[in-house]
Amino acid sequence: MATKRTAKRSRTVKRTSGRYWSKRVMETSDALDLQKGVFKLPPKKMARSLKRSAERSGRRKSAPLRSAMSMLSFYENRAGRKLPAGRKRQIAQAKQELRRLFGKER
């Protein structure tokens, strides 16, 4: 009986616009104009900065709370498993603070 041979696919991808597409998204998307280093701030300051950016941004397409939350989620998801547990807790606290600032507490 003859065995079927499959060709190996090359998995190399030519990167033309730098190392990470997520950096380009953060800089050029229709999201928010963020303060530099906003995700390194303590949770309350992070939430206040995101709220300020969301309310002032002329590029966002949805409500300020939704835009700010999506940026937090984007950051958290892009960091993936490399994000330390302590940092994940701080992001969760920042989300809670954002909800409180917008009057949408759970």
pLDDT of residue 13: 54
Opening angle at CA 54, ends 53 and 58, nearest 5: 95
Domains in the chain: boundaries: 43-106
Query: Average pLDDT per run of 10 along the chain, which is 106 residues long?
Result: 60 60 66 79 93 84 88 87 90 94 84
Q: Which residue has the tokens 């989300």?
A: 95
State the amino acid at position 101 in one-letter form: L
32 and 75 Cβ atoms separated by less than 8 Å: no
Which is nearest to 50 in space by CA: 71, 27, 30, 28?
71
